[in-house]
């Protein structure tokens, strides 16, 4: 199954924008324009973009602290993201969330979470709401393979299966839980095999192929919307950078990164579109330039934004319903 040209084109443009944004974020850290820490998803773009292509308005998403690509794939603007990274008032969370807490309810992103696995039960709640209100929407929880070893993962899958909730659990298996290779912490070959314990489908998909991800998510989403319950999807992927901005990843095996670079998600979709006569090198170069220009614009805009005033410190602590 192949996606329509317009969907492919948008997915490629999104991945280019995400890649450029992530690379720029690292540069901004070196310039001390972004403080704190951050976790880049360079190499994992297809997981987020492929999933977003299969979602519908009203669907809800939770993700990890490595979530810039999820936010942009779902529709967060580059300006809103860059301003948030810099702690400016023009950011998605008014400059109060930063890198690890990207949130935008208007696009369905209920939030990135700095606590490993905490986003799974949150997505469960969104799915329960959809079921009770009969909205026809679904919830998606992104997480890493390391989170599949903690209690929240098993509790969330168990409850989702019992109640047949419309939720997709999407594991971005990038092989490393922080600095530990997954095979040293996880006894199973595929995280998706754990679905069997909860009587739900478990699917493994090439996380470097945005089109393949979109197809799998579309099928699982259709099943969930029809009352068929949850699915555990494992995207086999790889992060090109270390765990966080200061990690040079000396724990990797020699040649491992080079092997994964040969299966870059951007190149996979680019070459497929070229083979199908949907793209040429000139058009691809124009898409690259457009992405880079948009990121530069977002950075300059964010730089000009003010920081939140001190008196706003206690704002947004509680939800206040408008009269």
Taking the whole predicted model, whether its pTM rises above 0.85 is answered as yes
Within the chain, how many helices (H) and strands (E) appear?
A: 10, 8
319 within domain boundaries: no
pLDDT for 247 = 65
256 within domain boundaries: yes
Q: Which domain holds residue 278?
A: 5-302
pLDDT for 320 = 75
pLDDT for 253 = 84
How many Cβ atoms are within 10 Å of 301's Cβ, its own excluded?
Answer: 17
Task: Give the β-pairing of 202-206 and 231-236.
Answer: parallel
CA 34 – CA 26 distance, rounded (Å): 9
Closest-CA residue to 112 (of 62, 76, 47): 62
Taking phi first (over 0 means left), then psi (-120 to 50 degrees means alpha), and beta for anything else, what does residue 77 get?
beta
CA 308 – CA 78 distance, rounded (Å): 19
Count how many domains the chain has.
1
Q: Kindly report the CATH number assigned to the domain that includes residue 47.
A: 3.40.50.970
Q: What is the pLDDT of residues 44-93, one digit of tens each?
A: 999 999 999 999 999 999 999 999 999 999 999 999 999 999 999 999 99
- The residues of the chain scoring below 70 in pLDDT are 1, 177, 179, 242, 245-247, 323
120 within domain boundaries: yes
263 within domain boundaries: yes
């Amino acid at each position: 199954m192949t996606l329509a040209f317009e969907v492919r084109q948008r997915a490629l443009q999104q991945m280019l924008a995400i890649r450029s944004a992530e690379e720029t974020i690292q540069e901004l850290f070196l310039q001390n324009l972004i403080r704190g820490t951050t976790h880049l998803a360079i190499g994992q773009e297809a997981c987020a973009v492929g999933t977003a292509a299969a979602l519908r308005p009203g669907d809800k998403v939770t993700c990890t602290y490595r979530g810039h690509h999820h936010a942009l794939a779902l529709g967060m603007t580059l300006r809103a993201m860059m301003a948030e990274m810099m702690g400016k008032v023009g950011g998605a969370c008014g400059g109060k969330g930063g890198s690890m807490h990207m949130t935008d309810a208007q696009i369905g992103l209920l939030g990135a979470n700095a606590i490993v696995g905490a986003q799974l039960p949150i997505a469960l709640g969104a799915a329960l709401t959809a079921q009770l209100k009969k909205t026809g929407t679904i919830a998606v929880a992104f997480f890493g393979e390391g989170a599949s070893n903690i209690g929240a993962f098993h509790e969330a899958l168990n409850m989702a299966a019992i109640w047949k909730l419309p939720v997709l659990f999407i594991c971005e298996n990038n092989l490393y839980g922080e600095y530990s290779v997954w095979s040293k912490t996880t006894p199973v070959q595929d995280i998706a095999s754990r679905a069997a314990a909860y009587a739900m489908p478990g699917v493994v998909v090439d996380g470097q192929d945005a089109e393949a991800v979109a197809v799998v998510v579309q099928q699982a989403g259709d099943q969930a919307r029809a009352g068929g319950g949850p699915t555990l999807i494992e995207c086999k992927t790889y992060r090109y950078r270390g765990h966080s901005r200061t990690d040079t990843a000396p724990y990797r095996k020699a040649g491992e990164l080079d092997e994964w670079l040969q299966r870059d998600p951007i190149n996979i979709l680019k070459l497929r579109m070229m083979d199908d006569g949907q793209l040429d090198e000139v058009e691809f170069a124009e898409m690259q330039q457009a992405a880079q220009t948009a990121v530069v614009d977002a950075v300059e805009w964010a730089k000009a934004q003010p920081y939140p005033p001190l008196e706003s410190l206690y704002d947004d602590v509680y939800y206040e319903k408008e009269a």
